[in-house]
């Protein structure tokens, strides 16, 4: 009898083409491993300097993260550029989540398309610090990783080389003990004019005994024209959502390389379940469907890699409950649990002197001083960024916020709506003509904004599961999220607020020109960071973790799970570089397993 679907043999199937999937596929394909990449979303048109994506952005009403990519993404949070009713905002067109205050909502999102969220990421590449890996031992909170910083260090080096990272190697060496065995491949992206003013203003300043140091932000954007055949950054200031010139690193580049090395890519192919042998737990088949057809197709391989991000990975494991009722690789019961983000505290002010914002990358300097310390036994660490784009991040300056399209959660009162924007100057204050022009010149050139990304502790009650009743447009059950920031993070957010105030006063801001709090919850979450961590936790013991130290599922020995879902702790570092390092390291383990 002829089979309705085609099953082929591959060495490795990689599900997802973002930060982890692209690197593991490239790394394996380069060594002649036969790789099949399955991507739920479509490929965006890249021709002629990404012209059609730029055009779509220019036309876009919201100018939000997803704006250039409408039509290319698979079902995901905030998939639309059109106004959404309140109950479909903040990702709830896809996440199933109760209405709640901002601090009880998961406010991070992603793109399901070839190249993933790495199209719209900001490009900050920070290493974790040694104590991030041993929070339990050192501070008595959280969990320990089964690996140490020193285990990952060589892979950080390789990841920085593969992505192309520009940074100040001297400044970045030994940040809280994170030693560097190699320099960055490229010199740092220059600090902005505003950064330099901050640096001068905060020289010799401390907060609670910790000296504040403003340092150049290591970022995956070319400071050297020609690195990996791509141009140097020319400051289009649109990294989020799109770099028109490819100066910013994207996973797409490693997908392209993987394809050149012989990997196969099937886009618009949504994996709907993994089938396993119920006894051994081995993954036997990956079942998927295409956008255009509801027919099931499938593929098999010796090893399967889940790299679809910290929401989609556990969702798929839980959906795959046909042979094992708790889902695949879930004997621990921990799949989907320990969901963490980096809640942001955002503050802004008018500096005394103009800083001339809206020029250059969104952030070129930050403060690493509070990323570790004895205080972590009681409160979250944090990393502070200085922004170069005025108050844009908070309220859509200079135009004023479009409150209706994706990402807004309005259950907390927003303070200072549209402050310092054209909407306020014209509509509220009635400025026109020369007066208006002068006000724009005077006020907007002084707009400064900082935010701090704060560490959360892993909490098993923060979790993603599956809602079998609420389906996405392809008939697939949507992820259900239960989330809330904890007291540990709130205490970190409170300290961040103190730092923000100190920074603004040092820049000569008048108290009446400082807005420390964006909402009526001063120690709450203002925004998410786009960092989705914890949901397929790494550990030594199969009973209390999902993957082992090599990212191999404990209970499915031919399944590797990558991405920030494996992080036992969130740290205060942006996760992408750690995702990349772990992916390259896992590729090594996969290769060894294939040849044994």
Partner 1 sequence: MNRRDFISAAVVSITSLNSSCEQIALPEGIQRDSASTHDKSAANPPPSVVADIQLDEFIELSQYLTGESKLDAEMGADYLQVLASHSEFAALIPRLMTKYRQIRKQHDVEAAIKSEIMADAILRIPAEQIIYLWYLAALYVSNPLDPTNSATGIWQYNAPQHYKDGLVWSVLRAHAPMSYGGPFGYWKDPPK
In angstroms, give the least distance from the CB of 561 to partner 1.
26
State the residue for tokens 């500096």: 351
146 touching partner 1, by CB under 8 A: no
| Entry field: residues in the chain | 596
CA distance 467 to 95: 9
Binding partner 1 by CB under 8 A: which of 405, 454, 514, 518? 405
Return the residue of 22, 157, 178, 233 that touches partner 1, per CB under 8 A. 233
Stretch that binds partner 1, among 141-149, 188-196, 332-340, 581-589 (CB under 8 A): 188-196
Positions 250 through 289 that interact with partner 1 (CB under 8 A) = none
Nearer to partner 1, 223 or 578 (CB): 223
Nearer to partner 1, 43 or 594 (CB): 43
CB under 8 A: which stretch of 236-244, 257-265, 279-287, 530-538 binds partner 1? Answer: 236-244
Nearest approach in angstroms of CB 356 to partner 1 is 5
Q: Which residues, 6+ apart, have CB-to-CB distance to 584 below 8 Å?
A: 23, 24, 27, 155, 158, 159, 162
Q: What is the DSSP string of 217-282?
A: PPBSB-SSTTGGG-PPP---S-TTT--TTS-B--HHHHHHHHHHTT-EEE-SEEEEEEEE-TTT--
Query: Using CB under 8 A, which of the segments 3-11, 12-20, 80-88, 565-573 binds partner 1?
Result: 80-88
Question: What DSSP character marks residue 116?
Answer: G
Q: Minimum distance between the CB of residue 16 and partner 1, rounded to whole angstroms?
A: 19
Using the structure block, give the residue that is written with the tokens 């709506």: 417
Does position 67 interact with partner 1 (CB under 8 A)? The reply is yes
Helices (H) and strands (E) in the chain, counts: 13, 17
Q: How far is the CB of 64 from partner 1 (least distance, A)?
A: 11
Contacting partner 1 (CB under 8 A), which of 139, 236, 261, 375? Answer: 236
The token duo for 105 is 């909502």
Task: Give the interface segment with partner 1, choosing from 138-146, 316-324, 326-334, 471-479 (CB under 8 A).
Answer: 471-479
| Minimum distance of partner 1 from residue 299's CB (angstroms) | 21
User: Bridge partners of 96?
Assistant: 480
Contact call for residues 529 and 108 (beta carbons, < 8 A) = yes
Query: Would you tell me how many other CB atoms lie within 10 Å of the CB of residue 330?
Result: 23
CB of 431 to partner 1, least distance (A): 9
Strands 477-482 and 293-306: unpaired
List 43, 417, 502, 505, residue binding partner 1 (CB under 8 A): 417
Under 8 Å between Cβ of 348 and 515: yes
- The residue within the footprint of partner 1, chosen from 142, 327, 400, 420 (CB under 8 A), is 400
Under rule CB under 8 A, residue 193 binds partner 1: yes
56 makes contact with partner 1 (CB under 8 A): yes
Q: Does 190 bind partner 1 (CB under 8 A)?
A: yes
Q: Report the nearest approach of partner 1 to the CB of residue 327 (Å).
A: 18
292-311 residues in contact with partner 1 (CB under 8 A) are: 292-294
Residues 339-378 touching partner 1, rule: CB under 8 A, are 354, 356-361, 364
Q: Any contact of residue 46 with partner 1 (CB under 8 A)?
A: no
Told to check if 226 binds partner 1 by CB under 8 A, we report no
Binding residue for partner 1, selected from 45, 262, 278, 473, defined by CB under 8 A: 473
According to CB under 8 A, which one of 205, 404, 557, 593 is a site residue for partner 1? 404
Nearer to partner 1, 366 or 539 (CB): 366
Evaluate whether 477 touches 369 at the Cβ level (below 8 Å).
no
Alpha-carbon distances, residue 107 vs 340, 530, 532 (angstroms): 11, 8, 10
Q: Is residue 430 involved in binding partner 1 (CB under 8 A)?
A: yes
- The string over 561-579, giving b where at least 16 C-beta atoms fall within 10 Å of a residue's C-beta and e elsewhere, is bbbbbbbbbbbbbbbbbbb
- Specify burial of residue 87 (Cβ count, 10 A radius: 0-12, 13-18, 19+): exposed
CA dist 297 and 292 (Å) reads: 12
Select the residue interacting with partner 1 from 100, 146, 154, 244 (CB under 8 A). 244
| CB 272, CB 285: distance < 8 Å | no
Contact status, residue 556 vs residue 277, Cβ threshold 8 Å: no
By CB under 8 A, name the one of 192, 330, 351, 384 that touches partner 1.
192
- Segment near partner 1 (CB under 8 A); pick from 59-67, 511-519, 527-535, 554-562: 59-67
CA angle 406, 409, 412 (to 5 degrees): 160
């Amino acid at each position: 009898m002829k089979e309705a679907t085609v099953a082929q043999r591959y060495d490795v199937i990689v599900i997802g083409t973002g930060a982890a999937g692209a690197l593991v596929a490239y790394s394996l394909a380069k060594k002649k491993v036969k790789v099949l990449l399955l991507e739920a979303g479509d490929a965006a048109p890249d021709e002629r300097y990404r012209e059609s994506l730029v055009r779509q952005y220019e036309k876009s009403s919201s100018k939000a993260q997803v704006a250039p990519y409408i039509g290319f993404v698979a079902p995901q949070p905030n998939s639309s550029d059109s106004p959404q009713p309140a109950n479909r905002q903040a990702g709830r067109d896809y996440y199933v989540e109760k209405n709640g205050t901002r601090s009880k909502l998961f406010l991070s999102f992603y793109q399901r398309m070839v190249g993933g969220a790495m199209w719209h990421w900001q490009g900050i590449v920070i290493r974790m610090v040694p104590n991030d890996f041993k929070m339990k031992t050192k501070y008595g909170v959280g969990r320990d990783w089964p690996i140490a910083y020193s285990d990952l260090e060589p892979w950080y080096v390789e990841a920085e080389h593969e992505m192309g990272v520009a940074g100040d190697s001297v400044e970045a060496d030994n940040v809280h003990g994170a030693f560097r065995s190699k320099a960055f491949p490229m010199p740092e992206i220059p600090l902005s004019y505003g950064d330099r003013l901050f640096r001068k203003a905060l020289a010799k300043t401390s907060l609670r005994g910790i000296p504040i140091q403003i340092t150049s932000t290591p970022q995956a954007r070319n400071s050297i024209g020609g690195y990996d055949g791509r141009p140097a950054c020319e400051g289009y200031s649109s990294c989020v959502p799109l770099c028109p010139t490819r100066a910013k690193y994207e996973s797409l580049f490693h997908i392209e390389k993987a394809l050149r090395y012989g990997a196969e890519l099937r886009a618009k192919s949504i994996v709907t379940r993994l089938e396993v042998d119920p006894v051994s737990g081995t993954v036997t088949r990956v079942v998927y469907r295409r956008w255009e057809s509801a027919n099931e197709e499938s593929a098999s391989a010796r090893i399967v890699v889940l790299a679809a991000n910290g929401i989609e990975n556990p969702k798929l494991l839980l959906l795959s409950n046909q042979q094992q009722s708790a889902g695949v690789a879930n004997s621990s019961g921990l799949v989907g649990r320990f969901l963490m983000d980096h809640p942001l505290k955002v503050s802004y002010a008018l500096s005394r002197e103009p800083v001339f914002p809206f020029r250059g990358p969104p952030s070129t300097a930050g403060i690493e001083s509070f990323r570790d310390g004895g205080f972590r036994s009681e409160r979250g660490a944090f990393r502070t960024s200085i922004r170069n784009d005025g108050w844009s991040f908070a309220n859509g300056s200079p135009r004023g916020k479009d409150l209706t399209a994706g990402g807004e959660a309005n259950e907390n009162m927003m303070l200072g709506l549209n402050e310092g924007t054209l909407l306020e100057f014209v509509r509220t204050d009635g400025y026109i003509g020369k007066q208006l022009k002068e006000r724009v010149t005077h006020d907007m050139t002084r707009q400064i904004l900082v935010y701090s990304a704060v560490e959360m502790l892993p909490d098993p009650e923060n979790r993603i599961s599956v809602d079998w009743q609420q389906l996405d447009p392809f008939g697939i059950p949507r992820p259900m999220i239960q989330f809330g920031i904890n007291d540990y993070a709130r205490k970190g957010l409170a300290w961040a607020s103190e730092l923000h105030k100190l920074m603004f006063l040092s820049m000569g801001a008048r108290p009446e020109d400082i807005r420390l709090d964006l909402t009526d919850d001063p120690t709450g979450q203002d925004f998410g960071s786009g960092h989705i961590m914890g949901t397929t936790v790494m550990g030594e013991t199969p009973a209390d973790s999902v993957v082992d130290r090599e990212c191999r599922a404990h209970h499915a020995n031919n399944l590797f799970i990558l991405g920030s879902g494996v992080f036992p702790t969130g740290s205060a570092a942006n996760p992408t570089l750690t995702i990349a390092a772990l992916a390259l390291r896992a590729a090594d383990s996969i290769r060894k397993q294939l040849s044994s």
